[in-house]
Structure 1
Amino acid sequence: MANVFVVEDSQPMIELLQELLANVGGFDVVGSCSTEAEAKLWLEENPGAWDIAVLDLVLAQGSGIGLSAHAKRTHPAGKPVVFSSYASPGIRAHCLKLGADAVFDKNESPAFLDWLAANR
């Protein structure tokens, strides 16, 4: 069972992710938040409590772009993955450079689900 931390500002998207993870199986959502500050605090207070962090880039406050690096600092074995509507080639390269294990546009859901299944 892989523990998943979700950073997403859209409640409907959080619910969709939870449903997708339940359908794939082998995942437990251990936390979620909608702002950069909340995400950083949760990561600092829960090092090692997550295996995969699903990160959106556009948040209610702040940005998810630097959260991959922050996540890796708090839990080097964890796998931050960006799942955002703004995953252009340049943003994708920048996120990977900052420590994301993978980057997916939200319209790449099948590839995202394949990655999750391979990393649980």
Structure 2
Amino acid sequence: MPHTLNAYLVEDSRLIRDNLTAALEEMASVKIVGWADGEHEAVAHLAALTPPMAQAPLDLVLIDLMLAQGSGLGVLRSACGHGHGHGARARCVVLTNYATPDMRRECLKLGADRVFDKSNEIDALIDYCLALAEDRPPPPR
């Protein structure tokens, strides 16, 4: 039986945010516990959600690269770098329309665990989340 993943969503499009929240909560054992549409807001919220500040552990951070203010790369750099924060680090996943090979490499270098293309890898994102919720290894990249 899968457990529910607590996730934070960084996405500036309300339509995408609403649709992604509905899909992940319905199909992938994910609960969106907060969101931001810009880099500064996301970094501040994520700092507050990092142990020991958080009341419930944050399992997953979903990040778009193009934001209303700043960039998802800044969120990765500030909040998702390996070893950031105290205790276990939430997995950071980039979900973008700009998943070029170079951008994928840059995101992984900055601390992303995975990079998914919004236009054709939503099923792969759902499979990834389900694997995490079921405590099994995520599908290979």
Tell me if TM exceeds 0.5: yes
- For the superposition of Structure 1 and Structure 2, which TM-score range results when normalised by the shorter chain? over 0.9
TM-score, normalised via structure 2 length: 0.79
| Structure 2 unpaired stretches of 5+ | 52-56, 134-141
Residue 75 of structure 2 corresponds to which residue in structure 1?
67
- CA shift, 1:53, in A, is 0.3
Q: Which among 50, 56, 64 is matched to residue 64 of structure 2?
A: 56
The structure 1 segments of at least 4 consecutive aligned residues displaced by more than 4 Å after TM superposition are none
Matches of 1:70 and 1:13, distance apart in 2? 24
Counterpart of 1:10 in structure 2: which amino acid? S
Identity %: 38
Residue 36 of structure 1 corresponds to which residue in structure 2?
39
Matches of 1:87 and 1:34, distance apart in 2? 19
Q: Deviations over 1:35-60 (max 9, x none)?
A: 00000100111104411000000000
Q: What's the secondary structure of 1:16's corresponding residue?
A: helix
Matches of 1:3 and 1:11, distance apart in 2? 20
| Structure 1 unpaired stretches of 5+ | none
Q: What's the secondary structure of 1:104's corresponding residue?
A: strand
Structure showing greater Rg: 2
Contact 2:25 2:32 in 1 (8 A): no
Residue 12 of structure 2 corresponds to which residue in structure 1?
9
Matches of 1:25 and 1:113, distance apart in 2? 6
Aligned length: 120
Residue 98 of structure 2 corresponds to which residue in structure 1?
86
Q: What's the secondary structure of 1:74's corresponding residue?
A: coil
CA RMSD of aligned residues (A): 1.4
TM-score, normalised via structure 1 length: 0.92
Q: Which has the higher helix share?
A: 1
